[in-house]
Protein backbone atom coordinates (compact mmCIF):
# COMPACT_ATOMS: atom_id res chain seq x y z
CA UNK A 1 0.00 0.00 0.00
CA UNK A 2 1.32 3.44 -0.88
CA UNK A 3 2.04 6.12 1.66
CA UNK A 4 0.47 9.40 0.48
CA UNK A 5 1.90 12.81 1.32
CA UNK A 6 -0.38 14.70 3.72
CA UNK A 7 0.45 18.32 2.83
CA UNK A 8 0.49 18.37 -0.98
CA UNK A 9 -3.17 17.35 -1.34
CA UNK A 10 -4.12 20.57 0.50
CA UNK A 11 -2.61 22.60 -2.35
CA UNK A 12 -4.63 23.40 -5.43
CA UNK A 13 -3.30 22.11 -8.73
CA UNK A 14 -2.33 25.64 -9.73
CA UNK A 15 -0.56 26.33 -6.41
CA UNK A 16 1.36 23.06 -6.60
CA UNK A 17 2.51 23.81 -10.15
CA UNK A 18 3.53 27.34 -9.18
CA UNK A 19 5.63 25.94 -6.31
CA UNK A 20 7.35 23.51 -8.68
CA UNK A 21 8.06 26.32 -11.12
CA UNK A 22 9.57 28.44 -8.32
CA UNK A 23 11.75 25.53 -7.15
CA UNK A 24 12.88 24.80 -10.71
CA UNK A 25 13.74 28.47 -11.26
CA UNK A 26 15.77 28.73 -8.06
CA UNK A 27 17.68 25.55 -8.90
CA UNK A 28 18.44 27.06 -12.30
CA UNK A 29 19.84 30.17 -10.62
CA UNK A 30 22.25 28.05 -8.59
CA UNK A 31 23.45 26.26 -11.75
CA UNK A 32 23.64 22.97 -9.88
CA UNK A 33 22.30 20.47 -12.37
CA UNK A 34 19.66 22.48 -14.19
CA UNK A 35 17.15 20.35 -12.23
CA UNK A 36 17.76 17.19 -14.28
CA UNK A 37 15.26 15.28 -12.17
CA UNK A 38 11.58 15.56 -11.31
CA UNK A 39 10.63 18.46 -9.06
CA UNK A 40 7.98 17.98 -6.37
CA UNK A 41 6.02 20.78 -4.68
CA UNK A 42 6.66 19.29 -1.23
CA UNK A 43 9.41 17.53 0.68
CA UNK A 44 9.11 13.89 1.69
CA UNK A 45 7.55 13.80 5.14
CA UNK A 46 8.81 11.44 7.84
CA UNK A 47 7.09 10.71 11.13
CA UNK A 48 8.55 11.75 14.47
CA UNK A 49 9.44 8.12 15.14
CA UNK A 50 11.26 7.89 11.81
CA UNK A 51 13.17 11.07 12.62
CA UNK A 52 14.20 9.58 15.94
CA UNK A 53 15.44 6.50 14.10
CA UNK A 54 17.72 8.64 11.93
CA UNK A 55 18.96 10.74 14.85
CA UNK A 56 19.90 7.56 16.76
CA UNK A 57 21.43 5.91 13.68
CA UNK A 58 24.32 8.39 13.44
CA UNK A 59 26.05 7.38 16.70
CA UNK A 60 25.52 3.70 15.85
CA UNK A 61 27.23 4.12 12.47
CA UNK A 62 30.07 6.09 14.04
CA UNK A 63 30.58 3.18 16.44
CA UNK A 64 30.48 0.79 13.48
CA UNK A 65 33.24 2.70 11.65
CA UNK A 66 35.34 2.80 14.79
CA UNK A 67 34.79 -0.92 15.28
CA UNK A 68 35.70 -1.71 11.67
CA UNK A 69 38.87 0.36 12.01
CA UNK A 70 39.79 -1.50 15.20
CA UNK A 71 38.93 -4.88 13.66
CA UNK A 72 41.23 -4.23 10.72
CA UNK A 73 44.06 -3.05 12.97
CA UNK A 74 43.75 -6.01 15.33
CA UNK A 75 43.67 -8.40 12.38
CA UNK A 76 47.03 -7.03 11.23
CA UNK A 77 48.41 -7.59 14.72
CA UNK A 78 47.13 -11.16 14.99
CA UNK A 79 44.53 -10.28 17.62
CA UNK A 80 41.71 -11.07 15.17
CA UNK A 81 41.66 -13.56 12.28
CA UNK A 82 44.21 -12.66 9.59
CA UNK A 83 41.62 -13.21 6.85
CA UNK A 84 39.77 -10.07 7.98
CA UNK A 85 42.59 -7.77 6.84
CA UNK A 86 43.20 -10.08 3.89
CA UNK A 87 39.66 -9.55 2.62
CA UNK A 88 39.66 -5.79 3.24
CA UNK A 89 43.04 -5.45 1.49
CA UNK A 90 42.11 -7.65 -1.48
CA UNK A 91 42.90 -5.97 -4.81
CA UNK A 92 44.64 -2.91 -3.30
CA UNK A 93 48.17 -1.90 -4.33
CA UNK A 94 50.76 -2.58 -1.66
CA UNK A 95 51.87 1.06 -1.54
CA UNK A 96 48.35 2.23 -0.61
CA UNK A 97 47.94 -0.53 1.95
CA UNK A 98 51.18 0.47 3.67
CA UNK A 99 50.29 4.16 3.56
CA UNK A 100 46.88 3.54 5.13
CA UNK A 101 48.49 1.66 8.03
CA UNK A 102 50.80 4.51 9.07
CA UNK A 103 50.64 5.28 12.79
CA UNK A 104 49.76 8.91 12.02
CA UNK A 105 46.43 7.79 10.53
CA UNK A 106 45.72 4.90 12.91
CA UNK A 107 42.59 6.34 14.55
CA UNK A 108 41.21 8.29 11.59
CA UNK A 109 37.81 7.38 10.16
CA UNK A 110 35.53 9.15 7.63
CA UNK A 111 34.16 12.44 8.95
CA UNK A 112 31.13 12.35 6.64
CA UNK A 113 28.87 9.32 7.05
CA UNK A 114 26.13 8.69 4.54
CA UNK A 115 24.20 5.44 4.48
CA UNK A 116 21.74 4.53 1.74
CA UNK A 117 18.54 3.63 3.58
CA UNK A 118 15.52 1.92 2.02
CA UNK A 119 12.17 2.22 3.85
CA UNK A 120 10.51 -1.19 3.54
CA UNK A 121 7.16 -2.50 4.82
CA UNK A 122 9.12 -4.11 7.68
CA UNK A 123 11.29 -1.12 8.59
CA UNK A 124 14.47 0.59 7.43
CA UNK A 125 17.30 -1.26 5.66
CA UNK A 126 20.81 0.09 5.00
CA UNK A 127 22.13 -1.17 1.68
CA UNK A 128 25.59 0.40 1.98
CA UNK A 129 27.73 3.19 3.42
CA UNK A 130 29.37 5.86 1.28
CA UNK A 131 32.54 7.53 2.57
CA UNK A 132 32.83 9.94 -0.38
CA UNK A 133 29.20 10.85 -0.95
CA UNK A 134 27.78 13.20 -3.52
CA UNK A 135 24.63 15.17 -2.93
CA UNK A 136 25.82 17.35 -0.05
CA UNK A 137 25.55 20.61 -1.97
CA UNK A 138 22.30 19.53 -3.55
CA UNK A 139 20.75 18.60 -0.18
CA UNK A 140 21.90 21.92 1.28
CA UNK A 141 20.42 23.87 -1.63
CA UNK A 142 17.10 22.00 -1.57
CA UNK A 143 16.87 22.53 2.20
CA UNK A 144 17.20 26.29 1.59
CA UNK A 145 14.57 26.34 -1.10
CA UNK A 146 11.90 24.21 0.56
CA UNK A 147 12.39 25.95 3.90
CA UNK A 148 11.93 29.40 2.37
CA UNK A 149 8.89 28.40 0.31
CA UNK A 150 6.95 27.95 3.54
CA UNK A 151 8.72 30.67 5.55
CA UNK A 152 10.07 27.99 7.87
CA UNK A 153 6.64 26.58 8.77
CA UNK A 154 7.63 23.19 7.36
CA UNK A 155 10.30 21.60 9.54
CA UNK A 156 13.05 20.55 7.15
CA UNK A 157 15.21 17.93 8.86
CA UNK A 158 18.50 19.61 9.76
CA UNK A 159 16.96 23.04 9.23
CA UNK A 160 17.58 25.57 6.50
CA UNK A 161 21.37 25.63 7.00
CA UNK A 162 21.99 22.31 8.72
CA UNK A 163 24.07 20.85 5.90
CA UNK A 164 26.26 23.93 5.57
CA UNK A 165 26.78 24.40 9.30
CA UNK A 166 27.43 20.70 9.90
CA UNK A 167 30.01 20.53 7.12
CA UNK A 168 31.60 23.72 8.45
CA UNK A 169 31.91 22.35 11.99
CA UNK A 170 33.49 19.20 10.66
CA UNK A 171 36.06 21.13 8.60
CA UNK A 172 36.87 23.49 11.50
CA UNK A 173 37.62 20.49 13.71
CA UNK A 174 40.31 19.48 11.20
CA UNK A 175 41.61 23.00 10.74
CA UNK A 176 42.16 23.45 14.49
CA UNK A 177 44.21 26.62 15.12
CA UNK A 178 45.66 26.93 11.63
CA UNK A 179 44.99 30.03 9.54
CA UNK A 180 45.23 28.69 5.99
CA UNK A 181 42.45 27.66 3.64
CA UNK A 182 40.53 24.46 2.95
CA UNK A 183 40.54 22.78 -0.46
CA UNK A 184 37.78 20.51 -1.73
CA UNK A 185 39.64 18.48 -4.36
CA UNK A 186 37.36 16.99 -7.02
CA UNK A 187 38.76 14.60 -9.60
CA UNK A 188 37.78 14.31 -13.24
CA UNK A 189 36.03 11.03 -12.38
CA UNK A 190 33.78 12.96 -9.97
CA UNK A 191 33.29 16.04 -12.17
CA UNK A 192 29.49 15.64 -12.15
CA UNK A 193 29.56 16.85 -8.54
CA UNK A 194 31.80 19.87 -9.15
CA UNK A 195 28.97 22.39 -9.52
CA UNK A 196 27.19 21.45 -6.32
CA UNK A 197 30.42 21.33 -4.32
CA UNK A 198 31.47 24.71 -5.72
CA UNK A 199 28.11 26.08 -4.60
CA UNK A 200 28.64 24.54 -1.15
CA UNK A 201 32.12 26.07 -0.91
CA UNK A 202 30.63 29.48 -1.73
CA UNK A 203 28.09 29.08 1.07
CA UNK A 204 30.86 28.08 3.48
CA UNK A 205 32.81 31.21 2.62
CA UNK A 206 29.72 33.21 3.55
CA UNK A 207 29.95 31.45 6.92
CA UNK A 208 33.49 32.79 7.30
CA UNK A 209 35.30 29.58 6.34
CA UNK A 210 37.93 29.91 3.57
CA UNK A 211 36.87 26.91 1.46
CA UNK A 212 37.58 26.54 -2.25
CA UNK A 213 36.47 23.80 -4.63
CA UNK A 214 39.31 23.13 -7.07
CA UNK A 215 40.78 20.53 -9.36
CA UNK A 216 43.83 18.63 -8.00
CA UNK A 217 46.09 20.20 -10.66
CA UNK A 218 45.45 23.64 -9.12
CA UNK A 219 47.26 22.65 -5.91
CA UNK A 220 50.88 23.81 -5.65
CA UNK A 221 53.56 22.06 -3.66
CA UNK A 222 56.29 23.92 -1.76
CA UNK A 223 58.85 22.97 0.86
CA UNK A 224 56.43 24.22 3.51
CA UNK A 225 53.40 22.31 2.26
CA UNK A 226 50.48 22.71 -0.13
CA UNK A 227 49.46 26.09 -1.50
CA UNK A 228 46.49 27.40 -3.46
CA UNK A 229 46.40 30.62 -5.46
CA UNK A 230 43.45 32.71 -4.30
CA UNK A 231 42.85 36.19 -5.77
CA UNK A 232 46.43 36.43 -6.96
CA UNK A 233 48.15 35.33 -3.72
CA UNK A 234 49.31 31.95 -2.49
CA UNK A 235 47.55 30.62 0.61
CA UNK A 236 48.56 27.66 2.72
CA UNK A 237 46.19 24.69 2.51
CA UNK A 238 45.43 23.30 5.97
CA UNK A 239 42.71 20.77 5.12
CA UNK A 240 41.94 18.77 2.01
CA UNK A 241 38.47 17.32 1.62
CA UNK A 242 39.05 14.34 -0.68
CA UNK A 243 36.30 14.14 -3.27
CA UNK A 244 37.92 11.39 -5.32
CA UNK A 245 38.00 7.62 -5.11
CA UNK A 246 41.13 5.82 -4.02
CA UNK A 247 41.01 3.42 -6.98
CA UNK A 248 41.52 6.48 -9.20
CA UNK A 249 44.73 7.76 -7.58
CA UNK A 250 46.95 7.06 -10.59
CA UNK A 251 44.77 9.36 -12.71
CA UNK A 252 44.72 12.27 -10.25
CA UNK A 253 47.32 15.02 -10.78
CA UNK A 254 49.55 15.69 -7.77
CA UNK A 255 47.91 12.92 -5.73
CA UNK A 256 51.33 11.78 -4.49
CA UNK A 257 52.13 15.32 -3.31
CA UNK A 258 48.91 15.45 -1.30
CA UNK A 259 49.81 12.10 0.27
CA UNK A 260 53.32 13.32 1.07
CA UNK A 261 52.02 16.52 2.69
CA UNK A 262 49.59 14.49 4.82
CA UNK A 263 52.35 12.08 5.83
CA UNK A 264 54.48 15.04 6.95
CA UNK A 265 51.57 16.48 8.94
CA UNK A 266 51.44 19.67 6.86
CA UNK A 267 47.84 19.09 5.90
CA UNK A 268 44.87 17.08 7.18
CA UNK A 269 43.02 14.94 4.66
CA UNK A 270 39.50 13.61 5.04
CA UNK A 271 38.20 11.05 4.26
CA UNK A 272 41.47 9.36 5.20
CA UNK A 273 43.41 7.24 2.73
CA UNK A 274 42.07 4.02 4.26
CA UNK A 275 40.51 1.82 1.57
CA UNK A 276 39.74 -0.88 4.12
CA UNK A 277 37.03 1.40 5.53
CA UNK A 278 35.39 1.86 2.12
CA UNK A 279 34.53 -1.77 1.39
CA UNK A 280 30.92 -2.97 1.18
CA UNK A 281 32.20 -6.31 2.46
CA UNK A 282 32.29 -4.68 5.91
CA UNK A 283 28.62 -5.70 6.19
CA UNK A 284 29.65 -9.32 5.55
CA UNK A 285 32.19 -9.04 8.38
CA UNK A 286 29.48 -7.62 10.65
CA UNK A 287 27.31 -10.70 10.12
CA UNK A 288 30.12 -13.27 10.24
CA UNK A 289 29.48 -15.64 13.20
CA UNK A 290 33.18 -15.92 14.08
CA UNK A 291 33.37 -12.14 14.56
CA UNK A 292 30.20 -11.80 16.61
CA UNK A 293 32.05 -11.75 19.97
CA UNK A 294 34.20 -8.87 18.72
CA UNK A 295 31.22 -6.83 17.54
CA UNK A 296 29.21 -7.47 20.70
CA UNK A 297 32.07 -6.26 22.87
CA UNK A 298 32.96 -3.34 20.60
CA UNK A 299 29.45 -2.01 19.98
CA UNK A 300 27.53 -2.94 23.10
CA UNK A 301 24.15 -4.61 23.30
CA UNK A 302 21.92 -1.74 22.13
CA UNK A 303 24.06 -0.71 19.14
CA UNK A 304 24.57 -4.33 18.09
CA UNK A 305 20.84 -4.98 18.22
CA UNK A 306 19.93 -1.87 16.23
CA UNK A 307 22.51 -2.46 13.51
CA UNK A 308 21.51 -6.13 13.24
CA UNK A 309 18.00 -4.95 12.43
CA UNK A 310 19.01 -2.60 9.61
CA UNK A 311 22.11 -4.17 8.00
CA UNK A 312 20.98 -6.87 5.55
CA UNK A 313 22.69 -10.23 5.46
CA UNK A 314 25.74 -9.95 3.24
CA UNK A 315 28.35 -12.42 2.02
CA UNK A 316 31.72 -11.92 0.35
CA UNK A 317 31.87 -13.93 -2.89
CA UNK A 318 35.14 -15.75 -2.22
CA UNK A 319 35.58 -18.58 -4.78
CA UNK A 320 37.71 -20.70 -2.41
CA UNK A 321 36.11 -24.17 -2.04
CA UNK A 322 34.59 -25.20 1.28
CA UNK A 323 35.21 -28.55 3.01
CA UNK A 324 32.52 -31.13 2.28
CA UNK A 325 31.03 -30.78 5.77
CA UNK A 326 30.83 -26.95 5.68
CA UNK A 327 28.07 -24.57 4.61
CA UNK A 328 28.03 -20.81 4.01
CA UNK A 329 26.73 -19.21 7.24
CA UNK A 330 23.04 -18.17 7.15
CA UNK A 331 22.76 -18.51 3.36
CA UNK A 332 19.81 -20.57 2.19
CA UNK A 333 17.95 -21.23 -1.04
CA UNK A 334 14.41 -21.75 0.13
CA UNK A 335 14.89 -24.20 2.99
CA UNK A 336 18.18 -25.61 1.66
CA UNK A 337 21.57 -24.73 3.13
CA UNK A 338 24.21 -23.55 0.64
CA UNK A 339 27.65 -25.19 0.52
CA UNK A 340 28.86 -23.72 -2.77
CA UNK A 341 28.18 -20.53 -4.70
CA UNK A 342 27.32 -22.76 -7.66
CA UNK A 343 24.24 -23.86 -5.73
CA UNK A 344 22.84 -20.39 -6.47
CA UNK A 345 22.97 -20.93 -10.24
CA UNK A 346 19.81 -23.03 -10.33
CA UNK A 347 17.85 -20.91 -7.87
CA UNK A 348 14.41 -19.96 -9.12
CA UNK A 349 13.53 -16.33 -9.79
CA UNK A 350 11.72 -16.20 -6.46
CA UNK A 351 14.69 -17.76 -4.65
CA UNK A 352 17.32 -15.41 -6.03
CA UNK A 353 16.19 -12.22 -4.29
CA UNK A 354 19.79 -11.15 -3.95
CA UNK A 355 21.96 -8.32 -5.22
CA UNK A 356 25.50 -8.82 -6.51
CA UNK A 357 27.75 -5.75 -6.50
CA UNK A 358 31.46 -4.84 -6.30
CA UNK A 359 32.70 -4.42 -2.75
CA UNK A 360 34.88 -1.35 -3.45
CA UNK A 361 38.06 0.03 -5.02
CA UNK A 362 36.67 -0.10 -8.52
CA UNK A 363 35.00 2.29 -10.99
CA UNK A 364 32.08 -0.17 -10.88
CA UNK A 365 31.64 0.20 -7.12
CA UNK A 366 29.89 3.57 -7.05
CA UNK A 367 26.95 5.24 -8.76
CA UNK A 368 24.93 1.98 -8.92
CA UNK A 369 27.34 0.61 -11.52
CA UNK A 370 28.10 -3.09 -11.59
CA UNK A 371 24.93 -3.98 -9.66
CA UNK A 372 22.95 -7.11 -10.61
CA UNK A 373 19.52 -7.81 -9.10
CA UNK A 374 18.96 -11.56 -9.16
CA UNK A 375 15.18 -11.76 -9.49
CA UNK A 376 15.12 -8.97 -12.11
CA UNK A 377 17.20 -10.78 -14.73
CA UNK A 378 17.01 -13.99 -16.77
CA UNK A 379 18.68 -17.00 -15.22
CA UNK A 380 21.45 -17.07 -17.84
CA UNK A 381 22.37 -13.46 -17.02
CA UNK A 382 22.22 -14.26 -13.31
CA UNK A 383 24.66 -17.15 -13.80
CA UNK A 384 26.98 -14.87 -15.82
CA UNK A 385 26.88 -12.20 -13.09
CA UNK A 386 27.70 -14.79 -10.45
CA UNK A 387 30.58 -16.22 -12.50
CA UNK A 388 31.97 -12.75 -13.22
CA UNK A 389 31.90 -11.89 -9.51
CA UNK A 390 33.79 -15.04 -8.55
CA UNK A 391 36.38 -14.66 -11.32
CA UNK A 392 36.96 -11.03 -10.34
CA UNK A 393 37.76 -11.86 -6.71
CA UNK A 394 41.57 -11.43 -6.92
CA UNK A 395 41.30 -7.82 -8.12
CA UNK A 396 37.72 -6.70 -7.42
CA UNK A 397 35.86 -8.72 -4.76
CA UNK A 398 32.07 -8.74 -5.02
CA UNK A 399 29.42 -9.20 -2.37
CA UNK A 400 26.09 -10.99 -2.33
CA UNK A 401 23.39 -9.19 -0.35
CA UNK A 402 19.76 -9.84 0.48
CA UNK A 403 17.37 -7.73 -1.60
CA UNK A 404 14.77 -5.78 0.35
CA UNK A 405 11.89 -4.24 -1.59
CA UNK A 406 11.06 -0.67 -0.66
CA UNK A 407 7.59 0.43 0.34
CA UNK A 408 5.60 2.66 -1.98
CA UNK A 409 5.20 6.42 -1.66
CA UNK A 410 2.83 8.59 -3.65
CA UNK A 411 4.54 11.82 -4.68
CA UNK A 412 3.47 14.72 -6.88
CA UNK A 413 5.84 16.18 -9.48
CA UNK A 414 5.81 18.76 -12.23
CA UNK A 415 5.25 17.33 -15.71
CA UNK A 416 6.51 20.16 -17.91
CA UNK A 417 5.45 18.47 -21.14
CA UNK A 418 1.80 18.65 -20.05
CA UNK A 419 2.06 21.78 -17.92
CA UNK A 420 0.59 19.95 -14.92
CA UNK A 421 1.37 18.36 -11.58
CA UNK A 422 0.92 14.59 -11.70
CA UNK A 423 1.24 11.82 -9.14
CA UNK A 424 3.81 9.06 -9.20
CA UNK A 425 3.95 5.90 -7.11
CA UNK A 426 7.57 5.16 -6.29
CA UNK A 427 10.11 3.65 -3.93
CA UNK A 428 12.46 5.82 -1.91
CA UNK A 429 16.14 5.83 -1.09
CA UNK A 430 16.81 8.03 1.93
CA UNK A 431 20.33 9.45 2.25
CA UNK A 432 20.97 11.01 5.67
CA UNK A 433 24.15 13.06 6.01
CA UNK A 434 26.06 12.87 9.29
CA UNK A 435 29.07 15.03 10.11
CA UNK A 436 31.64 14.04 12.72
CA UNK A 437 33.43 16.75 14.71
CA UNK A 438 35.26 16.53 18.03
CA UNK A 439 34.25 12.89 18.39
CA UNK A 440 30.52 13.49 18.09
CA UNK A 441 28.18 12.95 15.16
CA UNK A 442 25.16 14.98 14.07
CA UNK A 443 22.39 14.56 11.52
CA UNK A 444 22.45 17.57 9.16
CA UNK A 445 19.86 16.67 6.54
CA UNK A 446 18.24 13.85 4.57
CA UNK A 447 17.91 13.66 0.79
CA UNK A 448 15.08 11.52 -0.58
CA UNK A 449 15.33 9.97 -4.04
CA UNK A 450 11.97 8.54 -5.11
CA UNK A 451 12.19 6.34 -8.21
CA UNK A 452 9.32 4.90 -10.27
CA UNK A 453 7.89 1.75 -8.70
CA UNK A 454 9.17 -0.55 -11.46
CA UNK A 455 12.83 0.36 -10.81
CA UNK A 456 14.80 -2.15 -8.75
CA UNK A 457 17.98 -0.05 -8.38
CA UNK A 458 17.24 3.29 -6.71
CA UNK A 459 19.49 6.20 -7.71
CA UNK A 460 19.34 9.76 -9.01
CA UNK A 461 17.93 9.03 -12.45
CA UNK A 462 16.09 11.61 -14.58
CA UNK A 463 12.75 9.95 -13.78
CA UNK A 464 13.35 10.24 -10.03
CA UNK A 465 11.98 12.88 -7.67
CA UNK A 466 14.65 14.47 -5.47
CA UNK A 467 13.53 16.36 -2.36
CA UNK A 468 14.73 17.01 1.18
CA UNK A 469 12.99 15.25 4.04
CA UNK A 470 10.85 17.09 6.58
CA UNK A 471 8.95 16.20 9.75
CA UNK A 472 5.33 15.25 9.21
CA UNK A 473 3.07 18.12 10.36
CA UNK A 474 1.01 17.20 13.40
β 354-358/332-333 pair status: unpaired
Residue 37 has pLDDT above 90, yes or no: no
Assign 8 a pLDDT band (cuts: 50, 70, 90): low
- The residue with greater pLDDT, 305 or 179, is 305
- The residue with greater pLDDT, 458 or 299, is 299
The sign of the dihedral angle between the CA atoms of 204, 206, 209, 210 is: positive
Residue 279 has pLDDT above 70, yes or no: yes
Residue 129 has pLDDT above 80, yes or no: yes
pLDDT at site 1: 43
Beta bridge partners of 146: none
What are the b/e assignments for 430-465, b being 16+ CB within 10 Å?
Answer: bbbbbbbbeeebbbbbbbbbbbeeebbbbebbeebb
Dump pLDDT digits (tens) for 447-456.
Answer: 999 999 888 7
Assign 5 a pLDDT band (cuts: 50, 70, 90): very low
pTM across the whole model? 0.94
Say what percent of the chain tops pLDDT 90.
Answer: 77
Distances (CA, A) of 24 to 9, 29, 30, 35, 64: 20, 9, 10, 6, 38
Query: Please, which residues have CB within 8 angstroms of residue 194's CB and are 6 or more apart in sequence?
Result: 186, 213
Beta bridge partners of 409: 3, 426
What are the b/e assignments for 143-161, b being 16+ CB within 10 Å?
Answer: bbbbbebeeeebbbbbbbb
Residue 319 has pLDDT above 70, yes or no: yes
Assign 6 a pLDDT band (cuts: 50, 70, 90): very low
Assign 176 a pLDDT band (cuts: 50, 70, 90): confident
Q: Which candidate, 252, 280, 291, 251, places its Cα nearest to that of 396?
A: 280
Q: What is the CA radius of gyration of the chain?
A: 23
pLDDT at site 429: 95
427 and 453 in contact (C-beta within 8 Å)? yes
Mean pLDDT across the stretch 188-207? Answer: 92
Mean model confidence pLDDT for the chain: 91
Say what percent of the chain tops pLDDT 70.
Answer: 95
Dump pLDDT digits (tens) for 50-70.
Answer: 999 999 999 999 999 999 999
Q: Which candidate, 128, 38, 115, 126, places its Cα nearest to that of 460?
A: 38
What are the b/e assignments for 291-302, b being 16+ CB within 10 Å?
Answer: beebbeebbeee
Mean pLDDT across the stretch 296-310? Answer: 97
Assign 365 a pLDDT band (cuts: 50, 70, 90): low
pLDDT at site 4: 45
Residue 178 has pLDDT above 60, yes or no: yes
Amino acid sequence: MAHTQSLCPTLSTEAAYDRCTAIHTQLGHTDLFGASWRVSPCPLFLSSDQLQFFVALGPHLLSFYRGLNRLYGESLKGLQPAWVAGYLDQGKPESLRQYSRMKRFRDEIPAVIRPDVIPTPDGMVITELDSVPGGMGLTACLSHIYHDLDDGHVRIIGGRNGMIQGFARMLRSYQAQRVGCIAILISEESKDYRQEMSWLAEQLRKEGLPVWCVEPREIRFTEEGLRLEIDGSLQAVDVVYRFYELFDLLNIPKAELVQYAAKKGWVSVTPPYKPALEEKSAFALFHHPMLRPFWEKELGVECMLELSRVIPKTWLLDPAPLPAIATIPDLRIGTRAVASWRDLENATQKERRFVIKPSGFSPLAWGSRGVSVGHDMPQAEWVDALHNALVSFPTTPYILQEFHKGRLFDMDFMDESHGAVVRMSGRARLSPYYFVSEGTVELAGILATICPADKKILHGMKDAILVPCAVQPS
